[in-house]
Amino acid sequence: MVSILITAGPTREHLDDVRFLSNASSGRMGIALTDAALAAGHEVTLVLGPVELEPPRGATVEHVESALAMQAAAERAFDGCDVAIAAAAVADWRPAVRSAGKPPKQEGTATIELVPNPDIVAGLAARKGRRVVVGFALESTAAGIAAAVARGRKKLQQKQLDAVVVNLHDTIGSSAAECVLCRADGADETVPRQDKQSVARRIVAMAVDLWRRRQAT
């Protein structure tokens, strides 16, 4: 049995107590990854952003809202895990100031100062040791699949990941996915478009195999 940390869903970055910045991530892939890992007999900690889906029974679930909360929860869970699969769609930016309550609407234009959120998966990879960290990259295929994979591989190298899942189409909110699994050893595996449950099983199997190979060396 392998202990797996999975991050899933979007984050919400509040402007005030009512309004927030977010994205359309449904959390379906993270839920599918959790199901796949549990079905394979692994132990799962799921750090889950705000979604409408029910998390699978059998996983240890920590619900979070903001990127900073997700970072804190993921770092705590990572201490006891062998593998991390970061499927969450974390907001790149958050408001510099969160207002209290619900400020009234103002006429005219408004300016919001944003500050960058932490790169959660890169932070985990920086202290992974013999653990395995897998990231996700949603890439446009407008310039071709090869260009999308190249951008994914650049992220893999910059963040010191063991593998990156390069999504080839806009899979946000969809029940299907198509991707290329890019490993740090240079190998690429194309996973044709199919339901996210099937894709998730392949991703979990790859991550666990990478961990077992590392422990055997």
Q: Which residues are catalytic?
A: 23
Give φ, ψ of 34 to 5 degrees: -65, -45
Quick one: DSSP state of residue 105? P
Q: What are the residues whose beta carbons fall under 8 Å from the beta carbon of 9, sequence distance 6 or more?
A: 25, 26, 27, 30, 48, 49, 50, 51, 88, 89
Type and span of the H or E element at 170: none
Which three-class secondary structure state does DSSP give residue 160? Answer: coil
| CA separation for the pair 136, 206 (Å, rounded) | 14
Mark out the alpha helices in the chain (DSSP H runs). 28-39, 67-78, 120-125, 145-159, 196-216
| CA separation for the pair 134, 4 (Å, rounded) | 11
